[in-house]
A and B are shown apart, each in its own frame.
Chain A
Amino acid sequence: MSLIIDNLTVRLYTDFKKKEFFNVADSVSFSVQNGEIIAVVGESGSGKSFLGLSLMRLNPPYISEISSGSILISDSGGFEKVDIVKLKENQLSGVRGRLISMIFQDPNVSLNPVIKIGEQIVEAILAHKKMKKKDACDIAIHYLELMRIDGKARFNSYPHELSGGMRQRVMIAMAMVLEPAVLVADEPTTALDVKTSLQVLALIEKMRFEKNVSVLFITHDLSIARNISDKTLVFYAGQIMEYGLTEDIINNPAHPYSISLTKSVPGLSKDYAPRERLFVIPGSLSQGDFKSGKCRFYNRCFKKTKECLNEIPLLKLSSGRFARCVNII
């Protein structure tokens, strides 16, 4: 196990002085094994990006805090175990990038525009390892080449000289250069083209097989989850709604929310005739859903009953398959 998240609860304050808050992640527990890819799927506003940020302790200070739970990260050999939640602020920078690192959504914003990409990667290496700069350059070039970028030629390029897909690949190289145990990828392909996004997915997959990194892949697109992940975690309003093998969840979803999600995309569930109207999830995700004592999907659910008005625990369906619903047939 390289990442064990236990009972993680993250508060987001709506009014800090009056201590008004809601749980943007609510008792989230799951674990990721070495070299496993778990996709976190959900609508925008469901709190999935916040979950990713919390794993790095990058959640915005003052307005949010991790109120309980633990995030245990161990490197692939099992020599080092760290609970990210308990670390002090000054210890965090020793862990970020080395044990856990992150790829962000928009590569245009996440690279420094005035520093050459080679320098940026070398900077990441030298921050954690004592070595000669020349050796660090060699490592950087090696990782650029792993990402199918001509390392020597592109080492001195500025980010604006690269295309979007290349920039995202530089970001992966930078995230992977210290061989972290866990990689958090927050929608890394949404800003990209169909074909380049396939390539980026393939390269993340390749890193998983070659470097044995565990990946938490945050996305809103179930078809991307199907292409890349072993397991899928359907996230809604701060809670895990369904968890299990990706194939099972896409071919045979159990939770009404997962069913709605797979139905609202043409081509995923195959029973759509041309121009047949697509299934629409009524209403929208609101802040109130995060606070309610009932099932958080209650207002938009097509299967709701009276029992749904109570808080619903994550129920085990079969081994390794969980869903937060009482009305599963």
Chain B
Amino acid sequence: MMDNGKDSEVLSINKLSKHYSGYGSLFNFKKNIIKAVDNVSFKVYKGDIFSIVGETGCGKSTLSKLILGLTNRSSGEIFYKGNILNYNLKKLDLRKKIQIVFQDPYSSLNPKKKIYKIVSLPAIKNKTIKKKDALQYSMQMLKKVGLDENYVFKFPHELSGGQRQRISIARSLSVNPELLVLDEPVSALDVSVSAQILNLLLDLHEKNNLTYIFITHDLRLVRHMADKVCVMYGGKIMEISPVDKFFDGPLHPYSRVLLESILAYGPKNILQFADAGNININNINAGIEKNSRGCVYYNLCSRREVQCINNEPELKENGDVQVNCFFPYYSSV
């Protein structure tokens, strides 16, 4: 496959779906299908910071699990550099290529193991290094993420939240990955610590020519870090757009609502949100069930029309912006 230049695609996702099925209740045997990820397609290019935003329950974490092969897909395909992503095929060494940094640095490190074991284990398992080099290697990795070498003999509980997140990053970098999935890497951290971690991530991105999939719900970070924004809602992609265009004026009604959340309001102006609909997974799925053929965002949309009830919009290209709506805003350009 084509593998030269900055623009070669690393990850290509084609009509990917993940449906969880459950029963409504003990005596209600009607199947209740939850579409966590539904018909999602996008491409990530080499060196990009591709950011996925959306609120809790929109499927962004499920998507990251699918990319990492931590859960099986219901339908659709994921291509990694043109090859179908299949973690069972050992020859591709996919585990080396795609790694993840989890949200909560407190629960994602094994409390019983010393830091050098945590950091070097992926490298040993993937035969990047030999077991006897583990100590030396983890010292190198710690240096890379800006920690003192002496930390290798500590246990996770001896470290602060920011230091633990650095360990998580060191662990995922230990196999020299090309694609790093960052699942809300700073949302559990304090303001000044999160600035450190963001700086580190940006440094590593530049030095190691990494590609990031940056999952977050904070649009301020997206504006600062990302090349492209992908907005998800109810398991579907609402909009994919380059960052500068997105912040000039997003096309999808839902993107506009999200963008509102980072604007500055005074105490009086914030009152308008008292009536804002409270969205949770039940709400979303109720929406899908009631009009299973219509748009997922119909119930809360400000621009809905009759057409949206029975027809499902598709992700359409509009210049370099892709939008999933019949009646998008056309930016002032």
| Interface residues of A, Cβ cutoff 8 Å to B | 37, 43-44, 148, 163-166, 193-196, 198-199, 201-203, 205-206, 208-209, 220-223, 226-230, 260-261, 264-267, 272, 274-275, 277-281, 284
Contacts and interface: CB of A to CB of B under 8 A. Distances in A.
Contacts of A228: 267, 270
Given A202-B274, A206-B271, A280-B192, A266 B221 contact: yes
The B interface is mostly helix, strand or loop, or mixed, namely helix
17 contacts: A43-B191, A163-B278, A165-B278, A194-B258, A196-B279, A198-B261, A202-B272, A202-B273, A202-B274, A221-B191, A261-B192, A264-B195, A267-B224, A267-B262, A278-B195, A280-B195, A284-B160
A193 B276 contact: no
A148 B261 contact: no
Contacts of B198: 266, 278
Nearest to A284: B160
Nearest to A281: B192
B274 A203 contact: yes
A199 B268 CA distance: 13
Contact of A193 (B56, B223, B267): B56
Residue in B217, B225, B258, B264 whose Cβ sees the most chain A Cβ within 10 Å = B264
Given A195-B261, A267-B223, A205 B270 contact: yes
Contacts of A223: 220, 262, 264
Interface of B: 55-56, 160, 190-196, 198-199, 202-203, 217-221, 223-225, 243, 257-258, 261-262, 264-268, 270-276, 278-280, 282
Residue in B190, B194, B198, B199 whose Cβ sees the most chain A Cβ within 10 Å = B190
A28 B196 CA distance: 31
B224 A201 contact: no
Contacts of A272: 224
A196 B278 contact: yes
Contacts of A198: 261, 270, 273, 276
Given A198-B261, A199-B274, A266-B221, 11 more contacts: A44-B190, A164-B56, A195-B261, A196-B55, A199-B273, A201-B273, A226-B265, A227-B266, A229-B267, A266-B220, A277-B202
A211 to B, nearest CB: 14
Nearest to A265: B191
Nearest to A44: B190
B264 A226 contact: yes
A79 B112 CA distance: 58
Nearest to A198: B273
Given A44-B190, A198-B261, A279 B273 contact: no
Contacts of B276: 195, 198-199, 202
A172 to B, nearest CB: 11
Nearest to B264: A226
Nearest to B187: A190
A202 B271 contact: yes
Contacts of A275: 202, 224-225
A210 to B, nearest CB: 10
